[in-house]
Amino acid sequence: MRTPVFTGACPALVTPFDPNGAINYDAFGKLIDAQIEAGVDAVCVCGTTGESATMSIREHIAAVEFCVKRVNHRVKVIAGAGSNDTSAAVYLSQHAQDSGADALLHVTPYYNKASQTGLIRHYEYIADRVDLPIILYNVPSRTGVSFTAETYRHLAQNPQINGVKEASGNFSLLAHTRYLCGDDFYIWSGNDDQVVPMMALGAKGVISVASNLIPEVMVKMTRLCLDNDFEAASKLQIQYMDLIDALFLEVNPIPIKAALNLVGMDMGGLRLPLCDMSEKNLETLRNSMARMGLL
């Protein structure tokens, strides 16, 4: 039986930019260190939250290399390597493997809207060309396509495919996947507002946006679930719902970057086509952070 890449909390790391729009590696290193010091179980670099969609291939590879070196085996490093071009996904995956990453995160191909057969062929093609475990990433609100439980069952038979980051919000899909795939295909929540209910259905943790701001909370929440203390975990989930909602008032990573800047972490701006939060939403976010004692 395969083992999960990680159990617990994993931040989907923000990528800080300097005033000229380049990656601010000093701030990036401090963010990584702060997450590890807070007790996270893994870090995910160059995902959606890291603005990988507007990174060049060269920047993407360099960011993964930096993260691996900075982490220095303290926790697992999961490298985002997904693409709507299968050959590009292989290229990024192989570079991440060469950099020393521990696992890969592969979002479903976006815009192409592959069929379920196309998804299977895409992931099997990648899996045949790397040695690292692969975490699938299902986020149909962004990509326009979702896995089915039957496709998960097929892909779960591949030893390279470790499980899925599920951000569909579809609990029926989650339950059917658990029924069809059993305990040897792992699931992680991709939604911060659904960590506890997903872990109650067997998820192993969360790949989290909110962890960038409140890592200790996400660590505690997942560990309570892993200890089967769902009553305490549920109270924590509910306690932070207002803040989590505020962190998604606009498309990720706009609010989380704004929140980190508000607490003085110097994440810089966003790359177009993303832009700063509206003043109204920023005020809502600021008020929520203040109520939680973060400002």
Contact in structure between 256 and 209 (CB atoms under 8 Å) = yes
> What's at 75, amino acid-wise?
V
Contact in structure between 222 and 205 (CB atoms under 8 Å) = yes
Is the bond preceding 4 in cis, omega lying within 30 degrees of 0? no
Contact in structure between 11 and 213 (CB atoms under 8 Å) = no
Closest CA to 78 of 105, 100, 51, 41: 105
76 catalytic? Reply is no
Sheet with strand 161-166: strands edge to edge: 8-11, 205-208, 186-189, 161-166, 134-138, 103-107, 76-80, 42-45
Report d(CA 166, CA 137) in Å as an integer.
Answer: 6
30 catalytic? Reply is no
| Catalytic residue selected from 76, 123, 152, 165 | 165
Side-chain-facing half-sphere of 158: CA atoms under 13 Å: 26
| Catalytic residue selected from 137, 152, 186, 240 | 137
Report d(CA 189, CA 284) in Å as an integer.
Answer: 25
Which residues are designated catalytic? 137, 165
